[in-house]
Chains A and B, each alone.
Chain A
Amino acid sequence: SAVISQKPSRDICQRGTSLTIQCQVDSQVTMMFWYRQQPGQSLTLIATANQGSEATYESGFVIDKFPISRPNLTFSTLTVSNLSPEDSSIYLCSARAGAGRERNEQFFGPGTRLTVL
């Protein structure tokens, strides 16, 4: 299984600023995803990070608010822009190998807890 790390693990930010979250996978993966999870709630998919092209956003999420980069097959960043208290949440990076026995299994990073004051 892929091992995924995220930085930072948590942060407290001021309203109006931005936070960039980094996601690193220990092996090359075909697909990477970003999720948001409110405490005690389920996961909501923000977007699929596509290598070498623009991310694919889910309904309700836009590129201006959540710009995503994916420069190679092991790394992605999510920026949460123009922060408001409503953005306080846990953000999780996820990856799917896309090949081999585990090709349909999806693995998750430890999450980044964001608090906006």
Chain B
Amino acid sequence: AQTVTQSQPEMSVQEAETVTLSCTYDTSENNYYLFWYKQPPSRQMILVIRQEAYKQQNATENRFSVNFQKAAKSFSLKISDSQLGDTAMYFCAFYTGTASKLTFGTGTRLQVTL
């Protein structure tokens, strides 16, 4: 069974600073996908970034980037130039075609302060 672990329940960062959210996972699969979702207080789940396991290059979407370490089964999210609108719960998620469903971590609550 796949598991996803987010070891930081809460984090805080000042506006314009950089923050990194951690995520580790466990699987015996070789082909899979990893995602970071953002859930602001409005509770709308928003897909932030995705990473295919077969790609060595780390995914980047504007201020969001990942550090994907396949051997270590680690998938951290880096938010650069943090903005107040980044305040949200962030969920790491894992998907394989075998299970055909997303497995979510427990989430990290990020607070961006002035």
Contact = CB atoms under 8 A, between A and B. Distances in A.
Contact of A33 (B35, B50, B97, B101): B101
Given A1-B47, A42-B104, A48-B101, A106 B42 contact: no
Main secondary structure of the interface of B (DSSP, over half): strand
B45 A92 contact: yes
A31 B100 contact: yes
B64 interface: no
B43 A42 contact: no
A90 interface: yes
A42 B105 contact: yes
A93 B57 CA distance: 32
Interface in B25-48: 33, 35, 37, 42-45, 47
24 contacts: A1-B47, A31-B100, A40-B109, A41-B106, A41-B107, A42-B91, A42-B104, A42-B105, A42-B106, A42-B107, A43-B91, A45-B102, A48-B100, A48-B101, A104-B97, A105-B50, A106-B95, A107-B45, A107-B47, A108-B37, A110-B42, A110-B43, A110-B44, A111-B44
A21 B62 CA distance: 35
Range, interface on chain A: 20 to 34
The interface centre, meaning the residue of B43, B91, B109 with most chain A CB atoms within 10 A of its CB, is B43
Contacts of A105: 35, 47, 50
Interface of B: 33, 35, 37, 42-45, 47, 50, 89, 91, 95, 97, 100-102, 104-107, 109
Contacts of B97: 104
The interface centre, meaning the residue of B35, B45, B95, B104 with most chain A CB atoms within 10 A of its CB, is B45
Given A104-B33, A104-B95, A106-B35, 8 more contacts: A33-B101, A42-B107, A43-B91, A43-B104, A45-B102, A105-B50, A107-B47, A110-B43
A43 B90 CA distance: 12
Nearest to B52: A104
Contacts of A31: 100
B78 to A, nearest CB: 21
A37 B45 CA distance: 12
